[in-house]
Structure 1
Amino acid sequence: MPGNFYTVRCPDCENEQAVFGKAASTVPCAVCGTTLATPTSGKAVFEGEVLDIVERRERTDTIAGESEAQ
């Protein structure tokens, strides 16, 4: 499931929280409970300010016993 994480600042308490970009449910702020992200059929809609994007990493190594082809 490819996707990115976003650091979002809460508009009420200014808490910074990591949120998955394809959130399947409403994401509340861990401090005050304000909605930070609302799900859609694809990407989530962010209510707070997006501060940073943490892009998914491409797999560069293999785990013992797994093949290169995925």
Structure 2
Amino acid sequence: MPGNFYSVRCPDCENEQVVFGKAASEVVCAVCGNTLVRPTGGKATIEGDVLETVEQR
């Protein structure tokens, strides 16, 4: 399954978290519970600020 992992910063609490770019389920911030990633059936919509690509496949 090709896809990239991204380091994303939460817009509410500034927490940094690694997420998958093609997430199949909603990903929330581990600290405040804000939604960071929403699935779309393909490439996910990233709600937070993308800081860098952690692993590229």
TM-score bucket of the superposed structures, by smaller chain: over 0.9
Alignment RMSD, CA only? 0.7
- Give the aligned partner of residue 11 of structure 2: 11
Identity, in percent, stands at 75
Unpaired stretches in structure 2, ≥5 consecutive residues: none
Q: State the structure with bigger RCO (CA 8 A, min sep 6), 1 or 2.
A: 2
Shift of 1:48: 0.7
Unpaired stretches in structure 1, ≥5 consecutive residues: 57-70
Length-normalised TM-score, structure 2 = 0.93
Task: For 1:15, give the aligned amino acid.
Answer: N
Larger of the two Rg values belongs to structure = 1
Shift of 1:39: 0.3
Task: Report Cα offsets for 1:10-62 as digits up to 9, x if no partner.
Answer: 00000000000000000000111000000001111011100001212xxxxxx
Q: 4+ residue stretches of structure 1 with deviation over 3 A? A: none
Which structure has more strand as a fraction of its residues? 2
Distance across 1 between alignment mates of 2:26 and 2:41: 13
